Amino acid sequence: MRNIGQTLKERREELGYTLQSMSEKIRVPISKLKAIEEGDLKALENDIGYVKFYIRFYCNALHLDFEDFREELEKSMDEYSNTTKMLKMVELEEIQDRINTRTKSTILTKKPNRGKFRKPDLSFISFVALISVLAISLILVFIFLVLPKLMARDVEPETDVVDVMPQPIVDTPVEDPTEEPVVIKELTIEKTGVDSYKLSGLSDKQELQMIINFKSNAYVKIMIDGVSPNNPASKRYNVGDTLTQLINVSEGMVVEVYIGWMNGNTMTLNGLSVPLDETVAKRNGSVTLIFKMEGIIVS
């Protein structure tokens, strides 16, 4: 990680940028840029899920290829994660040792009753030991099962007044050959590109029902002819949520659906599954799906 930070710092100075000007350029706080240049992952502990984003944006601003740093960055983050887990385990063992020591001390220093030695309350000791084991088990489950999943999922950050997270830069994919249209009842969905579609066969008095089922957390924004509807408003959806949008169709209408994290999420139009390109359906990042209304029947 220090090699990455040193390379970025030298490139920044070579191009004549200060930390202040670079922070304003890529909208990442100075403290985080400084920690990256010093290779200090400890200082970025609370933002460990966003480190890849920060360094990607830094590379783009300095005209460097992020892929040249990916392997070393992932190795450094894995080493830091493993070290953190080991420290947590040592800390838990120390807590358990202190509990055992205090329990034994309480038993040994307990005064006898009326000249007779009072036997230790084994039920109380068993209860304390059971509670301790359960607490440690829950903590270990969180550290080894839940926490890695949370850290691995690069969820699009919420808007923050101080630390504003720029949208990831997505390369425009090469369009695949168009596929045959899928028809159910009156609606026809024709795939015209990797992320673009033509909708036809509807009446101008019909409503188009769009439903998105979320298998990944994602921020969603819908634009209808360049205008964002108030219901539902643009916001973040969590795993298991469902977004439903009703649209009054008209000839030539263009509907754009921005999904901040696409992998696993699905969409239907009037009950018909939208045929997603494999590169779009499994994309670990944002995608904008574009639907154009053509051949609307005027009643």
By three-state DSSP, how is residue 259 classified? strand
Half-sphere exposure of residue 279: CA atoms within 13 angstroms, side-chain side = 11
CATH T-level topology, domain 182-293: Immunoglobulin-like (2.60.40)
Would you place residue 91 in the very low, low, confident or very high pLDDT band (cuts 50, 70, 90)? confident
**% of the chain at pLDDT higher than 70:** 81
Q: Are 207 and 246 within 8 A, CB to CB?
A: yes
The residue among 164 and 100 whose pLDDT is bigger is: 100
CATH class of 1-165: mainly alpha
Q: Residue 32: is its pLDDT beyond 60?
A: yes
Return the residue matching tokens 């850290």.
151
The residue among 139 and 115 whose pLDDT is bigger is: 139
Average pLDDT over residues 230-253: 88
Q: What is the DSSP string of 197-247?
A: EEEES-BTT-EEEEEEE-SS-EEEEEEETTB--SSSPSEEE-TT-EEEEEE
Average pLDDT over residues 198-224: 89
Spatial distance between the Cα atoms of 209 and 245, rounded to a whole number of angstroms:
6
Would you place residue 235 in the very low, low, confident or very high pLDDT band (cuts 50, 70, 90)? confident
Q: Residue 51: is its pLDDT beyond 60?
A: yes
Average pLDDT over residues 9-19: 93
Average pLDDT over residues 86-109: 74
pLDDT reported for residue 21: 94
pLDDT reported for residue 291: 93
Would you place residue 203 in the very low, low, confident or very high pLDDT band (cuts 50, 70, 90)? confident
Least confident of 33-47, 169-183, 262-276: 169-183
Q: Residue 113: is its pLDDT beyond 80?
A: no
Q: Residue 252: is its pLDDT beyond 90?
A: no
pLDDT reported for residue 191: 93
Count Cβ neighbours within 10 Å for each residue of 193-229 and write b for 16 or more, e otherwise.
Answer: ebbbbbbbbbeeebebebebebebbbbbebbbeeeee
Q: Where are the domains of the chain?
A: 1-165, 182-293
Which residues are registered as beta bridge partners of 268? 211, 273
Would you place residue 141 in the very low, low, confident or very high pLDDT band (cuts 50, 70, 90)? confident
Q: Which of 174-178, 182-186, 198-202, 209-213 has the highest mean pLDDT?
A: 209-213
Task: Encode pLDDT of 275-297 as tens digits.
Answer: 999 989 999 888 999 999 998 88
